[in-house]
Structure 1
Amino acid sequence: MEAVQFAATLTYGLLAYTLGAVAAAIVSVPTAGPGFLWPSYLLLGFSVITLCAALGHLVGRWSRSIFMAPVICALGCFVAIGAIGSPRGLGLFVLSGEPNVVVNTWPLVARISLATALLFAAIVLPDRQKRQRFRWPQTFGARVAASCAGFAVLVAFSSLIFAGPIRVDRAATDSPLCSTSSPRVCIWPEDRKYLPELTAMAERLDAVPQKWLNLPDTFYQSGLRPDPRYIPIDFSFSEGQLWFAAPNFAGVVIQRSITDKCEERSRVSAQKYSDAILQLDLWLEFRLMGSSKLSINSTLSDAQLSEPQRIVQASEGEQASWVDKQLKVIHNLPCQ
């Protein structure tokens, strides 16, 4: 009876989750192409739904209140998972699946094991009325089942703690998807739908008529080059927001085009140098995005953004004069 009741509860949650996943897949298939759907993320979601349903069922059997089960299962799980369930915490949810990271097998198994152990406990542990009437499960088999359920939950939770992070870096692919233009843009095949827009960003940079700019032959998405030297400069973006890639595109160009003559700078000199570099960096970001307006939230102040936003709308001659002024500040600054 308990198994049937729990199965009915779990079916509601898994059905809603499955329908959502199917709808998302149907919408994504035309543009995402093959390889975009990773079952590991679905399994993680299934395990969390099972875990929360099992907790709610346990509370419902042990509590006198008819409200405790939905509160624990719904509100309690939601708050707890939101607080400590992120990939940096217990790894119970992932908001977006970047192609340069994958779900780690053993941590995923640990979460599935915990959900399974709680499912088992929710079915076999005696409810409150039976415990008050008999003080302990009546039969030897029931005692063994209850003990095994408790032990399984303890072991599974311990394995979750020590299994490691839920996601790890993905091995670099031997066949990235690259544009044919120059400079090239190389990305993970799963992000193929974004290649045309990323290619357009690189082409806008290449079209800037200023000789001091030194563009790389290829812009790489994060993770395609496993060498740690490239991690800070290779671009990444999340949830289709390509503005997140703009600082990396611009930063690579600035790094290749400007060399700091000073090994050390005074605090005042370093601040002026950083301010001038930031202005050029932002100007390049607006140029490569083809817009003077940010489409993402930024921690930069209006004072930092206003000048690059203004100058990017000016003529090429005015922009060249403004850039020359920034370069003179950078090259003529004393080290101390």
Structure 2
Amino acid sequence: MGDVLRIEARRSLLLRLSPLIALAHVAIMLSQVSSWRGVWPQASAAVLSPLIFTAPALAGLTALEVSRRSTRWAAPRPPWAAPLLGVQVVAAGVVVACGCVAAVVVNLAAGAPQGLLWPGYVVLALCVAAEAVACGHLLGRVPGPLWFAPVTSVMLVFLRIVLTLPGSDLPPAGRLTRVILSGPPEISIAVSGVLGALGETVLVLGAALAVPWLVGRLAARRSGSTYPLSPAGRRGAVLTAAAALVLALPTVLPGTVMTTDRVPTTTVCTQTRIDVCVWPEQAVYLPELTALAQRADAVGQVYGLTGTSRLTASGIPGGIRTVIAGEGSWFVASSLAGELVFSVVTDPACVPSDEADPVAAERFWGAYF
């Protein structure tokens, strides 16, 4: 078996092209590096998000490779004797591994707080990549023109990912969501979500192995070129299918979600008059936020403001919520400006309205921003 795997590894088109797909995967990650650099959960999601594009590429190349070989429905080989699929899954894992290495290197260089990639995101990435390869392998066995399996695989995998993406204004809680575009520290991947993804992957891989074998055996039996399965063989097949279904149950259980809300046990703050508090995973932003808060304090001193207030990142209770984005804290600056303005303008009636006095309202909001 080891010799067969080595031969398949040398012949595999997908394995030879996997460095190019990995390069594209890392390039997509680096194109958005400012949104995740230095924050481990965001970097973990950054490993997962490029699979919107690279997973369909993996599926298409897998289908093309299988279609080019004479491994359609015909040969009734045992489903466990599938070294080609094993090599293709390894190639998909290489793409995810390169993304993980890139995220770790960038975060360590950026001085990220102590930690590492969150395993839930990495497991989801491996599941998505393995499913894409399995889908391409299965469709590559379907008879038809050479273009049919690759094009169909790319479309199906792309639609599977895109149609279950979380909405921009909703948390990624759907049990069929697999690719999560952002990993804010206030959420974590639920264990039930990881189990559901693993169960779905087991089903798809099992189908890629078993369906061609079953169809091949059926065709061979009809032509009289093979013997029926023995009772022990039938029992083994039934037990294997039952085990796969049990593992896949979390994908269909109602109430299974992909993410859960975290409860902060500690925070890090700027220790300024208008205190800005963030998650420990966002500590890399603290110097920039401290500088912003100090500038706000200096402006407040001009107007004799001495009262304290608190801004908190999403998910941290207490204070006024603000958005802690990546490099460039426009939202935090806007929140600080709001605190200053409404420390001076304490009566809401003093805020000019657009309807009553549009000129004064324009001047007011211009000064505000």
In the alignment, what sits opposite 1:6? 85
Structure-to-structure mapping, 1:189-228, within 5 angstroms: 189-208=280-299, 210-211=302-303, 216-225=308-317
Q: Distance in 1 between matches of 2:276 and 2:363?
A: 27
In the alignment, what sits opposite 2:150? 70
- Report the Cα offset of residue 184 of structure 1: 3.3
- Residue 268 of structure 1 aligns to a residue whose secondary structure is coil
TM-score for both structures, normalised by structure 1: 0.68
Q: Distance in 2 between matches of 1:5 and 1:213?
A: 70
Structure-to-structure mapping, 1:210-289, within 5 angstroms: 210-211=302-303, 216-225=308-317, 230=319, 233-261=320-348, 268-269=355-356, 278-282=365-369
- Report the Cα offset of residue 146 of structure 1: 7.5
TM-score for both structures, normalised by structure 2: 0.62
Q: Confirm or deny: 8 A CA contact 2:274 2:336 kept in the other structure.
A: no
- Residue 207 of structure 1 aligns to a residue whose secondary structure is helix
Q: Distance in 2 between matches of 1:71 and 1:41?
A: 28
In the alignment, what sits opposite 1:113? 199
Gap change, CA 1:115 and 1:212, over 3 Å in 2 = farther
Which letter maps to 2:312?
Y
- Residue 22 of structure 1 aligns to a residue whose secondary structure is helix
Gap change, CA 1:234 and 1:116, over 3 Å in 2 = same
- Residue 219 of structure 1 aligns to a residue whose secondary structure is strand
Q: Distance in 2 between matches of 1:192 and 1:257?
A: 30
Gap change, CA 1:153 and 1:220, over 3 Å in 2 = closer
Give CA deviations for 1:70-127 in whole Å, capped at 9, x if unaligned: 3344443124312323326532112222112211221222112211222222222334
Which letter maps to 2:191?
T
Structure-to-structure mapping, 1:71-220, within 5 angstroms: 71-86=151-166, 87=172, 89=174, 90-127=176-213, 128-134=215-221, 138-139=228-229, 140-141=234-235, 144=238, 147-148=241-242, 151=245, 155-159=249-253, 162-164=255-257, 166-173=258-265, 175-208=266-299, 210-211=302-303, 216-220=308-312
Q: Percent identity?
A: 27
Q: Distance in 1 between matches of 2:82 and 2:326?
A: 39
- Residue 106 of structure 1 aligns to a residue whose secondary structure is helix
> How many pairs were matched up?
273
In the alignment, what sits opposite 2:120? 40
Greater RCO between the two (CA within 8 Å, min separation 6)?
A: 2
- Report the Cα offset of residue 177 of structure 1: 1.7
Which letter maps to 1:16?
V
